Amino acid sequence: MTTPQDVREEIVSTVRRFVEREVMPVASELEHRNEYPHALVKRLKELGLFGATIPQEYGGLDLDVTTYAMVVEELCKGWMSLSGVLNTHLMLAFMLKTHGSDEQKRRYLPGMASGEHHGALCLTEPHAGSDVQRIRTTAVRRGDDYILNGSKMFITNARSATLYAIAAKTDNKIDPPYKGISMFVGEKGPGLSVGRDLEKLGYKGIETCEVHMEDYRVPLTNLLGGKEGQGFFHVMSGLEVGRINIAARAVGVASAAFHQAIRYAQQRETFGKPIAEHQAIQLKLADMATKIEAARLLTYAAADKKDRGERCDVEAGMAKLFSSETCLEVATEAMRILGGYGYTNEFPVERYYRDAPLMIIGEGTNEIQRLVIAKQLLQRHKI
């Protein structure tokens, strides 16, 4: 379903207003204290954002991917961590709505839409990031349950979550190994414990942790889609939306950095005039804005393709790759324009500069991104 244009505009402008009034004034302070934004998360729930992409029949808004990307962009203009609160939650919801049984959807989606349930995504392990099929967490069937054992790494929202999508091996011998991966939707409970919080360069305020499973029981009815061996396929199916989401984040952070830079450039004077009148600064501003616009259009184009029901893995990959590299570049340029002040805590540019690198790594590193794009291109253009 596509979101009608007027509804899309109204939703995006409402989120923008929320960000300008309630997020921007407090974001840097919370971030510097590495404090979980409880009050803002409550507001995200009140606004209905926990149900952003969940179907209306389960109490969500059923926004299309384009509108969702625009919402993510707006949130990230204020503070990237807020979109992180929603991201893994909505990835879990996406897997449930796409692959879950009717009973699983009825059981979990309404609570996820209202924010009673908060989702986390547990794929990465200490020794397996890009190479998902090498995960070691096991799930062994015993009676009406699966017993899960293993450790996960880099799990965002691990502590605040009540619901976990967990990739685990139900078959260790099968070749190729990815066919042995299954996806479980587990509720917080005995056997699942959240380990230490990782100290991060940026993306603060929101927790990224280790998750340990020791004889953690998940009922048979919580095997996603009710079929073993589908986990890898479930992960892959979410990648397009996941990459569009990261691209939108990068566009948001880059826009915020640019906005700060172009304002500052008109206020700061050197050698008798505002630095915006020095040609060297103008060249930077023009390049920054041009790249951001290109990144935004790539992101919207991929989202539009997804909304039309077409395959968009190459487009989503290109959007993620270009937007995240642009964001890193623009954040650095913004810091140059702000000079010494850019390096201090007094302006949010230092925060954008620390948040930007996550996008070149998360949701498939940009190296992996290039490989995937090239592989697909070679298939499309096979002679």
Partner 1 sequence: MKILVTVKRVPDPNASIKVKPDGTGIITDNLKYVVNPFDEIAIEEALRLKEKSGGAEVVLVSVGSKTAQEQLRTGLAMGADRAILVVAEQELDSLAVARIFHKLVQDEKADLVLLGKQAIDDDANQTGQMLAALLGWPQATFASKTDSLESEAEKSGTPGIQISGGAAKVVREVDGGLETLELPVPAVITVDLRLNVPRYASLPGIMKARKKELKELAIDSLGVDVKPKLKILRLDPPPKRQAGRKVGSVQELVQALHNEAKVI
Ligand X SMILES: Cc1cc2nc3c(=O)[nH]c(=O)nc-3n(C[C@H](O)[C@H](O)[C@H](O)COP(=O)(O)OP(=O)(O)OC[C@H]3O[C@@H](n4cnc5c(N)ncnc54)[C@H](O)[C@@H]3O)c2cc1C
Q: Which residues bind ligand X (CB under 6 A)?
A: 88, 121-124, 129-130, 154-156, 200, 203, 208, 358, 361-362, 365, 367-368, 371
Q: Rounded to the nearest whole angstrom, what is the least distance from the CB of residue 124 to ligand X in the complex? A: 3
The entry of partner 1, ligand X, none that residue 7 binds, CB within 5 to 8 Å by partner kind: partner 1
301 binds, among partner 1, ligand X, none (CB under 5 to 8 A by kind): none
Amino acid (1-letter code) at residue 36: Y
Q: How far is CA 87 from CA 136, 144, 309, 381, in A?
A: 25, 31, 21, 34
Question: 97 with 107: CB under 8 angstroms?
Answer: no
Secondary element (H or E) of residue 325: helix 313-338
* Cα distance between residue 188 and residue 242, in whole Å: 24
* Least distance in angstroms from the C-beta of 15 to partner 1: 8
The binding site for partner 1 (CB under 8 A) comprises 4, 6-7, 9-11, 14-15, 17-18, 46-49, 51-52, 56, 61
Residue 11 or 132: the one with the smaller Cβ distance to ligand X is: 132
For residue 88, the partner it binds in ligand X, partner 1, none, with Cβ less than 5 to 8 A by kind, is ligand X
Q: What are 185's strand-pairing partners?
A: 165
**Shortest-Cβ-distance residue relative to ligand X:** 129
- What is the nearest approach in angstroms of ligand X to the Cβ of residue 367? 3
Q: Is 363 a catalytic residue?
A: yes
281: which residues sit within 8 A by CB, 6+ positions away?
Answer: 265, 275, 337
Query: Strand locations in 198-319, DSSP E?
Result: 208-219, 269-270, 273-274
- Contacted entry of partner 1, ligand X, none for residue 14, CB cut-off 5 to 8 Å set by kind: partner 1
Q: Rank residues 56 and 172 by Cβ distance to partner 1 and give the closer one.
A: 56
Instruction: State the nearest-atom distance from the C-beta of 140 to ligand X, in Å.
Output: 22
Decide: helix, strand or coil at residue 132. helix
The phi and psi torsions of 167 (rounded to 5 degrees) equal: -90, 130
Of the residues 22, 46, 363, 367, only one is catalytic, namely 363
- Return the active site residues: 363
